Structure 1
Amino acid sequence: MTQILLKGGNVFDPAHGSILNRHDVLIEDDRIIQVSATPIDAPAAQSIDVTGKTVMPGLIDCHVHVLASIANLGLNAVQPNVLAAIRALPIMKAMLDRGFTTVRDAGGADWGLSHAIATGLVPGPRIFPSGRALSQTGGHGDFRPRSDVLEPCSCAFRAGAIARVVDGVDAVRLAVREEIQKGATQIKIMASGGVASPTDPIGNTQYSEDEIRAIVAEAEAAQTYVMAHAYTGRAIARAVRCGVRTIEHGNLVDREAAGIMRDHGAFVVPTLVTYDALARDGARLGLPAESVVKIQTVRQAGRDSLRIYAEAGVPMGFGSDLLGEMHNHQSDEFRIRAELLGNLEAIRSATSIAAAILQREGELGTVRVGALADLIVVDGNPLADISLLAGQGKHLALVMQAGRLYRQTT
């Protein structure tokens, strides 16, 4: 039994938007066992004075690709497996340095990578892997260039691939079962065109409704859910009506589609920082020219979409969706969210709302008795200054994951 006592910090509860001044937090092994306004007597515990600092839940990013070490996803998919895995190590470590103790990988990461982190073999955020995202032929996960001959897709055979191409109701059912057997904790599909893929206009819808319903049915049979890459209101509405639970990106939503999401209890995970990064650095880092052209179609629309979601009452999770060297901009998503929605909502997107998306309410994204001891200690009050959560984690005095002290400067 290992105990750690965080003494005298200001405990931030994002769900209620409140700060409990000068509270002690006692951790035993991987759980929080006591939060108290009066000093906790725990003589066997390692005591850490965090007076004047903010104790809050570890951050959660609901849309990452930890294996996307190259901005050109087609090239990323054909690099050697060992190289893809090794290149992921500094990406994951840097996420943990920024205070992200949990991520949901939206295509690429598998059980092996999440197990390596869970067992302490390598440092990184706890991963909820989607395995390979499912894409139709010519969809957002199909990175084959246009040609007069369509060669068989080898996209699912290397570690750097974020997706697999699969078509037809029976085939997608099997694909879902295979990804879940391999350890996927949720299923990702491509339900519209996208920026990073070469041959699918953003306005396209992808997969038939019968295929989407079959995917959803198989996921629900395995007691999990489906997340869908979708940009337009048309793609969003048809995916949600077919049972998709979370919409990824959603930049071109309209009010009708947002209302459908609200009525069906769906979530959205905007990923605004990636468009800023792609516009600035994408071409230099190897993003194909046809993808660079698509960026402006969705960049400003993404910012406008936040107001539509907020007015409709659709809960928004935190996502970054960065590629290659652009992973360094992960925490800058906080600045964008805060500018448009305020500091509290920006923080909730990466804590309490993100935990609800992961179906881990009460366990992640909170500082309460019984929760996992995923905690960060901030030098200052992020409710007053969101920049304390931005950058590379320089304002974090402590990062704890499942009761293990990963980083401590206090």
Structure 2
Amino acid sequence: MTTLVLKNANLIDVRKGQVVGERDLLIQDGRIAGIDTRIEGNNVDAVIDLGGRFMMPGLVDSHVHVTAITPNFALLEVLSPFYVGAKSSELLQGMLMRGFTTVRDAGGADHGLAQAVEEGTIIGPRVLYAGRALSQTGGHADMRGPGQQTFEGCFCCAGLGRVCDGVSEVRRAARDEIRKGANQIKIMASGGVASPTDRIDSTQFSIEEIDAIVEEATAANIHTMAHAYTARAINRLLPRGVRTIEHGNLMDEESCRLFLEHGAYLTPTLSTYDALAKEGVEAGMAPHLQQKVFDVLDAGGVALEMAQRHRVKMLYGSDLLGRMQRHQLNEFHLRKDVVPADELIRSATSNAADAYGHTGDFGELIPGARADIIVLEKNPLDDVTVLTTPEEQLKLIVKGGRVFKNSL
């Protein structure tokens, strides 16, 4: 590992939401070793002068599917996992070049893909993976059609989820994903858009099953994330200890109260509904499934406003599929009129580390944290949309102390 100094940077403290002034930053062994107004050293391998540009932590997307090379999940489950892995490498590289240095995969990625990124075989953000999302029969990760009696694929290959029913089965499934190294466990706890046989307003898994899954995750010192749309689904999850609710478009005021009471986080994913409504069928989604998008499209903005008004802690999530993943930064545009720039930036940095139980490891620029850093031409606190034009604004990308882009 090299020793790197980044000089003359306007450092952004994302927790305070302010620029703290020009600083030099010392990176050793992939982590931040020191921050000062002036760093000198004889053992420095490289120095990059940032010329007063704005330096902040690398972005974190808390809801991605890096193996979702198509929005047709039934097709995904019968594709060669080697082909899916190869195509996923393209998606991962695109994410890193947009400034995302950590992503939380919500179903599909596994140890091998995360390890390939860690070793540098694949260029991309650090992948925190859930393995296979847990789904009941007929739930959001069961991709069998209503008339389908058999399934050609298998739930251990390229799909996003696995089917399990009953307390014993869900406990075993959670333990198996933990055995395979899952950083978090994903629960499909309501109906969804991309699944063929469930209704969006359904609840999924019994309370006893949810308790068993959360218990296993807690025992392993990892958190649970749950796919849920309606207030009925959300409000039965939060008291059980689920850490993050994904989507939440149809939540209510009681949901907000429960978020605050239990210290949980909401991950809105407005960008995926916007993209699916505009180009879902063209990108490969079945037309009858695309129609389900309109059940939650407008409600997402209402839920965002409600959550912001109640001061619910939020994470940045995109949940985009296939070629639509190029819209990953659009979430900033879709939230910016409701959420102030500093809070929106926190949702994509320090809030994520806090939610995952990794405070201080990433998501902020402090001594000891991972050297995951992006440098921008302009200050995103003044205009958060500068983050959405990486070709023009994103001048430097450092992940784990390694420079992946330098256009200074």
| Matched-pair identity in % | 46
1:356 pairs with 354, 378, 395, which one? Answer: 354
Cα distance in structure 1, aligned partners of 2:365 and 2:229: 34
1:300 shift after superposition: 1.3
Judged with a 3 Å threshold, the aligned counterparts in structure 2 of structure 1 residues 153 and 240 are, in CA distance, closer, same or farther, namely: farther
DSSP-derived class of the 2:63 partner? strand
Quote the residue 2:75 is aligned against: 75
Q: How does 1:4-403 map to 2 (within 5 A)?
A: 4-37=4-37, 39-45=38-44, 46-147=46-147, 150-151=149-150, 154-159=153-158, 161-403=159-401
DSSP-derived class of the 2:336 partner:
helix
Kindly provide the CA deviation profile for residues 292-336 of structure 1, in whole angstroms up to 9, marking residues without a partner as x. Answer: 111111111111111211222220000000000000000111111
Q: Which piece of structure 1 moves more, 315-324 or 359-368?
A: 359-368
**2:77–2:153 contact (8 Å) kept in structure 1:** no
SS at match of 2:175: helix
| More off after superposition, 44-53 vs 109-118 | 44-53
8 Å contact 1:338–1:345 — kept in the other structure?
Answer: no
How far apart are the structure 2 equivalents of 1:226 and 1:355?
14
Q: For the Cα contact (< 8 Å) 1:31–1:373, is it kept in 2?
A: yes
Q: CA deviation digits over 1:209-266, x for unaligned, max 9?
A: 0000011111111111211000000100111122211100011110011211211111
Structure 1 unaligned runs (5+)? Answer: none
- Whichever residue aligns with residue 376 of structure 1, its letter is I
Secondary structure, counterpart of 1:223 in structure 2: coil
Q: 2:407 aligns with which of 403, 406, 409?
A: 409
Distance in 2, Cα, partners of 1:220 & 1:71: 31
Contact 1:58–1:101 (CA<8 Å) still a contact in 2? yes
Would you say the 8 A contact 1:96–1:124 is kept in 2? yes
Whether the 8 Å CA contact 1:331–1:392 is kept in 2: the answer is no
Paired amino acid for 1:81? P
Letter of the aligned partner of 1:126 in structure 2? R
- Opposite residue 199 of structure 2, the aligned amino acid is P
AA aligned opposite 1:322: L
Cα distance in 2 for partners of 1:233, 1:170 equals 27
Residue identity opposite 1:194 in structure 2: G
- What is the letter of the counterpart of residue 248 of structure 1? E
> Unaligned stretches of 5+ in structure 2?
none
TM-score, length basis structure 1: 0.97
Aligned counterparts of 2:224 and 2:307: Cα–Cα separation in 1: 20
Instruction: Give the TM-score, by structure 2 length.
Output: 0.97
Q: Does the CA contact (< 8 Å) of 1:63 and 1:106 recur in 2?
A: yes
> Is the contact made by 1:142 and 1:155 (CA closer than 8 Å) also made in structure 2?
no
SS of the residue 1:283 aligns to: helix
- Deviation digits for residues 277-298 of structure 1, max 9, x if unmatched? 0001101112112221111111
Q: CA RMSD in A?
A: 1.3
Equivalents in 1 of 2:161, 2:122: separation in Å?
24
Q: Does the 8 Å CA contact 2:26/2:33 hold for their aligned counterparts? A: yes
Give 1:378 deviation, angstroms: 0.7
Q: 1:391 to 1:274 in 2, by over 3 A?
A: farther
How far off its partner does 1:21 sit?
A: 1.8
| 1:375, distance to aligned residue in structure 2 (A) | 0.4
For 2:239 and 2:392, locate their aligned partners in 1 and report how far apart those are by CA, in whole Å. Answer: 43
SS of residue paired to 1:339? coil
User: In the aligned structure 2, how far is the partner of 1:351 from the partner of 1:128?
Assistant: 14
Separation (CA, whole Å) in 1 of partners of 2:226 and 2:389: 28
Aligned equivalents of 1:325, 1:152: Cα separation in 2: 26
Structure 1 residue 152 displacement after superposition: 5.3
Matched length: 407
Per-residue deviation, residues 362-400 of structure 1 (Å, max 9, x unmatched): 111101111110000111111112222114554211100
Q: What one-letter code is carried by the residue in structure 1 that aligns with 2:264?
A: A
Q: Contact 2:138–2:198 (CA<8 Å) still a contact in 1?
A: yes
Higher mean displacement: 16-25 or 125-134: 16-25
Give the distance between the partners of 2:74 and 2:336, measured in 1 at CA. 33
Which SS does the other structure have where 2:282 is aligned?
Answer: coil
Partners of 2:57 and 2:349 within 8 A in 1: yes
Contact kept, 8 Å, 1:198 with 1:288, in 2: the verdict is no
Q: Is the 8 A contact 2:78 2:152 kept in 1?
A: no
Asked whether the 8 Å contact 2:18–2:381 carries over to 1, the reply is: no
CA contact (8 A) 1:141 1:163 kept: yes
